[in-house]
Every structure is written in C-alpha cells, then in structure tokens.
Chains A and B, each alone.
Chain A
Amino acid sequence: MSTDKRLVKKTSLDKLFDSIKQQGKTIFAPKLKNGKVNYEQVERFSDIATDYIQTTQSAKVVAFPRTEKILDYTKSKEGIAVVEIDLQSISEVVIWGVRPCDAAGFLPLSAIFNWDTKDIIYNTRLEKTTLIGFSCNKCDESCFCTSVAGNPGGTEGSDMMLTQLGDNGDYLAEIITEKGKTIVDKNPDLFETAGEIDKQKYLADVPVKFNQTEIKDKLANFFENEIWLQQSLRCIGCGACASVCPTCACFDIQDEEHGKRGSRVRCWDNCGLSIFTLHTSGHNPREYQSQRWRQRILHKFSYMPERLSVYGCSGCGRCSRACPVDMNIIEHLTAIQEA
C-alpha cells in the first residue's frame, strides 16, 4: 500500500496511547528504570521516556525473547508427555517508540528465521507485534544508520512512523502497513489530514561513515588478514556487543527441569564467547578471539548479504556504546574499507 500521511496533534498522543491500551494490547515503550532506558511494559503515557538517544536493549526482545520455551514436558510413571508451546497464548503487543534502526533490525532477523525452514514461534510473535516507530531528531557519535541503508526517519519494518515536527510540534504519522492502518481506523478522530510536509528537515543529521557494499566486496577475499588480530587484541570476549544487537539471532537450546516438569528453551547465544563453537572433543574451530571477531564482522557484512540478501546490521551503534573496552564498529569497518 502507498504510504498514507496524517497529522497527530502533540496533545493527542496520550489519547492514542490510551486508546491502544484500552483495546487490550500490551504496550512496550522506552522507560527509565534503574538509570537505563529500555523497552518495558508501560501502563501510563507519562511513564514513557523521552530524553534518550537509544534504549540499552533493542526491541528484538519482543519477537525474539532472551529465553523462551519451545516445548514443555512432564515425566511420570507412564512416561514422558511432551507438549508443544501454545502459539495462541502469545499476546498481541504494541511497541511504541521504536527507533528506525530497531524496526529495520527485524528484517535481517526475519531473514534468518525464514531462509529455509520457517520458525513459526518467531513469526507468530512478530505477526502479533505492531511497531509504532518514532523518527530520530537527535543522534550520537555511535549512530551510523545512514551507512547501512537506513536513515533517522526510515520506515522499513515499522507499521506506523511518527515524526515530531519541531521540538514542540505535532507529529506526522506515516501509515505503512495494514497493522498501522488498523490503528488509524480505530481512532479516526486522532488522525487529521496532513498537508505537504517535508519531514527531512526535522530529522537528526547522521553522517555517512562507510560504504557497506564496498565493505562486502572487500570482505569476499579478506578471511586471512592481519586486521582481525589487530582489531580484536583488546577484545575481552564478553559478548556485550551481541547482547545488545537488534539483528543478532544466534541462539542456544537448553533443557530446564524442575522436579517432574521441564521445558526446552531457546536462549540468546553469542559468537564472541569461546564456548560457542567448542566441540565436546575439546577441538574449537574458532579458538582465538580474532577468529570470533572475524566471524562477527563477516557474518553481518559478508555471509548474510551473500546468502540471505540482507546485511546483518541496522546501524544502531549499541555494540560500540556497550563495549567495555571501547571497540568501535564504525572505526573498525572504516579501517576494513580503507585496508
């Protein structure tokens, strides 16, 4: 569908929030808690944080939780009864205030979960999620969405995109999908007709730092290069970068048992950890941190575009912000491009 543009008064924003809430949907929105802004379940419009650049964790937790059950079982004298996870029980969720980079992050995630076999658990969660994006009117030095085909007003992945027109202005609402249209249909009074609006001038200025196509081409023959060791010498292998990444999909499968009952759970895993590829025999194909760092960069900027036709990065900059030893993804990718 072509993008329908409407205007939402600044004073109507809370009414929109309340209306969605009254429809029985769970709303996740950026909220200040313990000194960090994160997507949390929010009950009141006034609880939503406004003064922040980026949430610490990405929005992916909603469709791809840190840990989630994939089956339950009960053991008894008669044997083991295994029960599938009930997809019907997954509730409808709205993520309010998604940054364009987080919304765009769902594209690579969806590609991974569907490139061959279809992951119905992920797909159901995403189907039941409505993403209301908010354009960025400010950024910091870690942001680089414009280098990875995104932009601070990018609508990719969002169902509806709101852009505030000036510091105290009203909001331009771009209705991108059917899910977005449903919100408008349920609240026709809140969405006024919009005239010609150029949202560009209200967006943050995110400078382009590198060219991802050039980097992809460079990486095609870059496996054996000293840069991996140079860049990863200070890496302590903590895995913080993958924990905050909106596009990292690697996971582990573990069983958790309590008495006679248990569950098989899928939980986030992390290519920066040495145990990730460790064989039971003790052999490890990625024994050194430099090999693990290489895997991280190649996976996102070479293997994924080659195999899945999508880059594994949306330019949110969280990995640089989270890194305890200040490894900066922009610096490292720029160095690769220039190598």
Chain B
Amino acid sequence: MSENIYMPYQMRIEKITHEAPGVKTFRLKFINEEDENKFNFRAGQFGEYSVYGVGESTFCVASSPTRKGYIECTFRQTGKVTSALQRCEEGSVIGFRGPYGNVFPLEEWKGKSLLFIAGGIALPPMRCVIWNALDLRENFKDITILYGARTVPDLVYKHELKEWAERGDVKLVTTVDPGGETPDWKGEIGFVPAVLEKMAPKSENTIAIVCGPPIMIKYTFPVLDKFGFTDETIYTTLENRMKCGFGKCGRCNVGNVYVCKDGPVFNLKQLKELPAEY
C-alpha cells in the first residue's frame, strides 16, 4: 500500500443487492491481490468510498471480518456520492480507503449475551458485528436482534432477516412503524422503544448495542435503563461528517473527541461525557 494516506484501494463491485428503496449493498473485491492479503479490519470500523470524478463518502464496513476475500457496504442514496454509487454497475471500479476508527470490543464480550437494537438504515453498521458474533457463536450466550423500519419495504437485508429468523440460536424481532405494515406482515407493529419495552430484555450479563436514528436512540436508552442496563453495557456507533477519516480534516470532533479516531464506537458512559454537539 502506498505511503500516501489518501490513496484508495481499487475495488471491483462483484455483486449488487437491492435491499430497500434507494438502498443497495455492494460486495467489493480488491483488484490488487497484494492489497487484499494485507487488508485487515475489525467490526465497527468504517472507510471512505469513492466514485472517481464525484468524490468520497463515509460509511461503515457492513460485512464481518470473519468473511475473507471481500468487504461489503450498504448505503442509501442521499447525496452526491451515494447517488453516483447507485448508478454503478457490477464490474465497476470504485475506491476504498480504510479501515478507520475503533472497534466493538467483541473480545471483552466473550461469555455474555448480546442484544442488538437497530432502526432503519442503521442495521448495516450492526450487521458487521452480528455476523462476526454469529460466526463465533460459541463465544456468546443468547443473541437477540430487534430491528425496526418505517415500513416493510424499508427493512434492509430481507434475506438475512429470514435466515436469522430460521436459526435456532438467534432470537429475531422485527417491527415496522404503525401504518408501515403490509397485509401479510407477521412481525410487530410499533416503534422500536415500545417493542423493546414489551420484550422486557434481561440485563444480566448482557451487552446492548443500539444504532438508529437519533429519535429512536433517545427513547431506547431510558427503556434499557429501566431494565437495569448500566451505561458501560450499552454501546452505539456515532456518525459525523468526515473527509479524511484520520483526525486531520477537523470536522467530526465532539468536544476534543474525534469520532474518526476515538470512535465511532462509544459506550453510553463515554457518550454522556461528551458535550452536546453531535
């Protein structure tokens, strides 16, 4: 790899999956085999994905580090770069810089139960951890996933939700906002915090990983608190606008904490120490 820290790996889009309206997953293969062999990442890290001529965009690696030979990313078409990514076809070449940022401490979580709570397009950063944990299933006790979206079509990874639902060693609860259901919807109807409350999660020896829109997060933390989760056992991943990914471009900091270097993964105790600037 180049000494130039801005130099992306060249990646070929091997497979494109349509997840939901405006949401796609790319499976990316390293064009240069040497790059692939040297590349390593851990669950929770992110990168800069680029379309040449349009620019770079920041999002997480959505595949598990246990799955070798490729990385996957899932994104919603929103801005300039994600719109250009949407227009890419299988076989196209894009750039990828990374991995950047800290990780979910899966090693520390050995022997514990994991409760994943995700909303909307925030399942992708969690999918990486979910598959990582499932691929090392014997390391963890119960694995529970609560996932909600506005409407049934908005649920991402539909094929994987089906797979998780069918697995005996995962408890999956899916929900859509009231009015977002379809006639044949078999899951819950209601907002994520309300469904969580109904589930009455056990906090004993359990880590909760929460990721979703700010409003979901805001109402989920009190529910977890009610069931006895301490601030050290609740984890989330932050997003902020970034350009470099390694603490130089100067915009992702919350107080003196850089989301790109010190994050994006924080537990609630760390989060509460940050000034309200995110």
Contacts and interface: CB of A to CB of B under 8 A. Distances in A.
Given A85-B4, A262-B53, A299-B250, A253 B95 contact: no
B54 interface: yes
A266 B10 CA distance: 19
Contact of A82 (B52, B79, B239): B52
A299 B258 CA distance: 12
A72 to B, nearest CB: 10
Contacts of B4: 70-71, 84-85, 120-121
B134 to A, nearest CB: 30
Nearest to A279: B241
A307 interface: yes
A291 B277 contact: yes
Interface in A99-122: 112-113, 115-121
Nearest to B82: A280
Given A79-B93, A280-B78, A281-B78, A120 B3 contact: yes
A269 to B, nearest CB: 7
Contacts of A115: 247
Contacts of A271: 250-251
Contact of A84 (B2, B241, B254): B2
B102 to A, nearest CB: 12
Given A71-B7, A84-B4, A303 B255 contact: yes
Interface in B170-216: 214
Given A255-B52, A269-B243, A250 B277 contact: no
A73 interface: yes
Interface in B1-21: 2-8, 10
B243 A286 contact: no
Nearest to A286: B277
A202 interface: no
Contacts of A307: 256
B78 A117 contact: no
Contact of B5 (A82, A118, A295): A118
Q: Which of B3, B52, B54, B55 has the most CB of A within 10 A?
A: B52
Contacts of A280: 78-79, 82
A303 B5 contact: no
A250 B6 contact: no
Interface string A257-290: 1000010101001010000111111010110000
Interface residues of A, number: 50
Contacts of B82: 280
Interface in B30-68: 50, 52-56
A252 B277 contact: no
Interface in B223-237: none
Interface string B79-113: 10010000000000101000000000000000000
B248 to A, nearest CB: 6
A299 B254 CA distance: 11
B132 interface: no
A266 B6 contact: yes
A84 B240 contact: no
B6 A71 contact: yes
A285 B261 contact: no
A151 B18 CA distance: 62
A19 to B, nearest CB: 34
Contacts of A303: 253, 255-256
A80 B10 contact: yes
A285 B10 contact: no
Interface of B: 2-8, 10, 50, 52-56, 78-79, 82, 93, 95, 214, 239-241, 243-244, 246-251, 253-256, 261, 275, 277-278
29 contacts: A70-B7, A71-B6, A73-B53, A75-B53, A80-B93, A82-B8, A84-B7, A85-B4, A116-B261, A117-B248, A119-B5, A120-B3, A224-B275, A250-B251, A251-B243, A251-B250, A253-B55, A253-B243, A253-B244, A255-B55, A269-B251, A271-B250, A271-B251, A279-B241, A280-B79, A283-B214, A285-B277, A285-B278, A298-B255
Interface of A: 70-71, 73, 75, 79-80, 82, 84-85, 112-113, 115-121, 223-224, 249-255, 257, 262, 264, 266, 269, 271, 276-281, 283, 285-286, 291, 295, 298-299, 302-303, 306-307
Sorted nearest first, the 3 A-B pairs with minimum C-beta distance are A250-B250, A280-B79, A257-B53
